[in-house]
Chains A and B, each alone.
Chain A
Amino acid sequence: MAGIETNNPSSAESLEYSDTFGKRMKVLWNRFRKNAFAVIGLCTLLFFYGTAALASLVAPYPEGGDPRYDIFLIDLKPMHVSYHVILHEDLVVVVPDKGEAFYRDVTQKIFPADQEFLAKAREGGSYLFDDEGKPARFKPNLMGRDELGRDVFSRILYASRISLTIGFVSVGISILIGTVWGCLAGYYGGVIDNIMMRIVDAIMCIPTFLLLVTVMSVLKPNIFNVMIVLGLTGWTGIARLVRAEFLSLMRRDYVEAARGIGAKDRRIIFRHVLPNAMGPIIVAATMGVAGAILAVLRPWCHASSGKLGKHAH
């Protein structure tokens, strides 16, 4: 992020005079490489997108948990609701609670209680047991297990796919629409600016969360629709930022000069003025990805009273 803004006169010149696309990219990359923070940022991004893309290889457990592993999360605390553990002589009877039975595939499990089980039962707490009632030795749970016995680390890996995709795509749509909209409003000004910016005001007022719910009920509730709704409503801020830059930049001499030599509107907007308005766009894009991820999270968090780690759909 910070690397792109570098103002090194010599490299700026070489960027100016390198006309082929490949050369420009090479100059950009050389500049980028020199900034340690930019490289660290890129590596972090690649790491998270990489683990999300390869979640099925990296995650120790399958998506949504593995029934073989999560059946016997037994909570020996008496007040716990999900299982009733009854110790009867040398038998352990595990009776799943009514609400849990439907997806656990077991209604009742009886196995002989050995010394280890009895010792743990007296201590209380949650333990994992295998089919025989022996303390289970499974693959490690890096971040523990959730209340249904699923591996939290695996779930985070799979869920990050959704969050990262939504963040990236919806902000991409927003930046694209917002930039073009702001350019046109700021460039043409006057009545066109007024109409375009009043449309921005109106879209800003529309309650996004309810729009999301309404669209989900009409169309299919999937992450593509979430991305599109967030993208189509989230561009208003960028439009305002870009348009403000344009209002000021349009009065600069170089725009006058470009017009004087007969440059077309499109060339002036995208080649002359827009590069000078990139600062706020870059900030909006970086902040926007984080914002979009949290925006998706927010309503669901609220609905499930702060339970993280639920899949977004």
Chain B
Amino acid sequence: MWSFILRRLIQAIPLLFIITIISFLIINLAPGDPVYMFVNPDQVSQQDLALIRLQLGLDKPLPLRYAIWLGNIMRGDLGNSFYYARPVSRVLMEALPNTLILALCATIFSFAIAIPAGIISAMRRNTAFDYAFSTVSFIGVSLPSFWFGLLMILVFSLRLDWLPTSGMYSLSVQGYDFWDRVRHLVLPTLVLGMGTMASKMRYMRSAMLEVIRQDYVRTAKAKGLASRVVIGKHALRNALLPVITLLGFIVPSLVGGAAIVETIFGWPGIGRIAVQAAFTRDYPLMMGNLLLSSTMVILGSLLADVLYAVADPRIRYD
């Protein structure tokens, strides 16, 4: 298994190389020009435009620009953001912990509800519990987060005044106050978690339904094992594959940020930065963000592959 992991990590390097070339092309060929972020397009001279292009390094041909970017990456330099006029690495590193904490909370929240709910609704299929949870989770996935988030703010912040409307901490609080942070986390976690809960629950439920009608589950039941053991030890292990795949998707989303939720709740995370970078055509920031998320996609895929073999020893990679 270790040699498999090592092999995959080595493969990641050429893969990242290919991904960055393709994405560099897409990012640079997309319509829009970052220079117009600095000037008024109606009253700017050609010399000024050329000067800005020279300063941003946009005067060189595309392949050369990629080569320069790659060379800088090798030396650990992600370049300077056009918009923030600061090193990309610093812009990303400031937002990364915020995004990480929100995404982790939302993931744990949605898994903690979706997995048990999926298992129970598979075991008690077509009962009131099954219907109730299916309905709630489908409502969760149907509500667009921009609307649901605003509704939550309206109810819990404005009407009931239980929770803060936005931000990560109260400005009035001096230093680090744990409970203040938690209070700010509740609503974004709820909105972000609700959106992804339904699919997790449905995958768990359908995989469980597939498994509990297998002979070995019937055998385990017949030999008098407690239903908790039958479900937890015999059935669950075989129903985990789709959930592990989902876990692989979650790894990149931990650093990708959730643009809409972050915008609604004024959360200083990576999602907002990524959207800002896309709209202002901030090439270095976009490439830095892409490198980060691509690495996580590859790691997530590797993690899923390793966990498949752990959950199901029949799976071998040779």
Contacts and interface: CB of A to CB of B under 8 A. Distances in A.
Nearest to A41: B138
A80 interface: no
Chain B at the A interface: mostly helix, strand, loop or mixed? helix
B73 to A, nearest CB: 15
Given A7-B213, A217-B30, A287-B202, A206 B314 contact: no
Nearest to A237: B249
B153 to A, nearest CB: 13
A313 to B, nearest CB: 16
B199 A287 contact: yes
A294 B32 CA distance: 25
Contact of A245 (B241, B249, B290): B241
A248 to B, nearest CB: 5
Given A207-B26, A286-B202, A241 B245 contact: yes
Interface in B191-227: 198-199, 202-203, 206-207, 209-210, 213
A207 B315 contact: no
B290 A248 contact: no
A290 B141 contact: yes
Chain A at the B interface: mostly helix, strand, loop or mixed? helix
B315 A206 contact: no
Contacts of A294: 144
Contact of A207 (B23, B146, B249, B260): B23
A279 B207 contact: yes
A283 interface: yes
Interface string A211-255: 101100100000000000000000001001100110110010000
B206 A282 contact: yes
Interface stretch (B11-19, B56-64, B95-103, B182-190): B11-19
A304 to B, nearest CB: 12
A202 B22 contact: yes
B117 interface: no
A206 B26 contact: yes
A301 B242 CA distance: 31
A206 B22 contact: yes
Contacts of A37: 131, 134
Interface string A281-310: 011001100100010011001110010000
Interface stretch (B33-41, B78-86, B296-304): B296-304
Contacts of B199: 283, 287
B248 to A, nearest CB: 7
Interface in A1-51: 2, 5, 7, 35, 37
The size class of the interface chain A forms with chain B is 35 or more
Given A248-B314, A287-B141, A207 B202 contact: no
B177 interface: no
A210 interface: yes
A251 B315 contact: yes
Contacts of A189: 317-318
Contacts of B209: 5, 7, 279
A302 B275 contact: yes
A287 B142 CA distance: 10
Given A202-B19, A280-B203, A207 B308 contact: no
Contact of A244 (B15, B202, B245): B245
A113 B175 CA distance: 63
B173 interface: no
Contacts of B210: 276, 279
Interface in A253-288: 276, 279-280, 282-283, 286-287
A244 B27 contact: no
Contacts of A197: 301
A201 B298 contact: yes
A201 B275 contact: no
Contacts of A287: 141, 198-199, 202
Given A248-B241, A248-B314, A240 B30 contact: no
A140 interface: no
10 contacts: A206-B19, A207-B286, A213-B31, A241-B203, A244-B308, A248-B241, A276-B210, A280-B203, A283-B242, A294-B144
Given A198-B15, A210-B30, A240-B248, 17 more contacts: A7-B209, A204-B297, A205-B23, A205-B293, A244-B245, A244-B304, A247-B315, A248-B308, A248-B312, A248-B314, A279-B206, A280-B206, A280-B242, A283-B203, A290-B141, A301-B260, A302-B263
CB-based closest 4 A-B pairs: A279-B206, A251-B314, A205-B294, A217-B31
Interface of A: 2, 5, 7, 35, 37, 189-190, 193-194, 197-198, 200-202, 204-207, 209-211, 213-214, 217, 237, 240-241, 244-245, 247-248, 251, 276, 279-280, 282-283, 286-287, 290, 294, 297-298, 301-303, 306
Interface of B: 11, 15, 18-19, 22-23, 26-27, 29-31, 126, 131, 134, 141-142, 144, 146, 198-199, 202-203, 206-207, 209-210, 213, 238, 241-242, 244-245, 248-249, 252, 259-260, 263, 275, 278-279, 286, 290, 293-294, 297-298, 301, 304, 308, 312, 314-315, 317-318
